[in-house]
Structure 1
Amino acid sequence: MPEGASDPGLTEKQRRELEVVRCMIGIYCRGHHGSKRAELCAECRELADYVAQRVARCPMADSKTFCSSCPIHCYRPAMRERIRAVMRYAGPRMLLVSPIKALAHAVDTLRERTRGGKGRA
């Protein structure tokens, strides 16, 4: 289980969000930095830790599905750009690496869009 995913202070939505993002960061790190499957380079580990911190402290946790659908942007601009690059690269590859997580993420995103959330970062 990804680090932080068993934190009792996280909601189920936050746990799912953190799992998806950590999986995406792993895909990105393997593709761009040549890391091994269960490892992250220092730069990607820093990003994953930052994301976990933001998710854990989210004031909107109960009313949104993913950070991309949140009206508040709590990521620093540089970190926001880094996570966007990760998602652009890893998003399409999620179907090959973790199809169940990818499909669950797609369903959650579509559900959020139909509820009126914006569904994009």
Structure 2
Amino acid sequence: MRLTQPQITQVWADRGYAGELVDWARDRLWLTLRIVSRPKGTAGFVVLPRRWKVERTIGWCMNARRNARDYERLPQHSEAHLNWALITMMTRRLTRKSPRTSHWTKKTP
């Protein structure tokens, strides 16, 4: 990732990636690796910051039936199918006649 996307300087990771990887990413890749963990004293399901955006996007990609399973032999084919699914999703949103209200955005009075 660092070779193809040098403008990325910060990455968020799950708690499982904490430890030596944070130092290694800083020293070798010049990346800031931020660990997203659960707030202390919480039980059950908790929406974690930044993580829900990734999970939501993966959910949107999985709506395309071909992306629900990994049938491809080459990673480039899988990447092309993901791009195809995201382009399809964005063109549908751009050509929508009326804007859809979302419960994720704040309503201004």
Q: Which has the higher strand share?
A: 2
- Normalized per residue, the structure richer in helix is 1
Report which structure shows greater RCO (CA 8 Å, sep ≥6): 1
Q: Give the TM-score normalised by the residue count of structure 2.
A: 0.27
TM-score (norm 1): 0.24
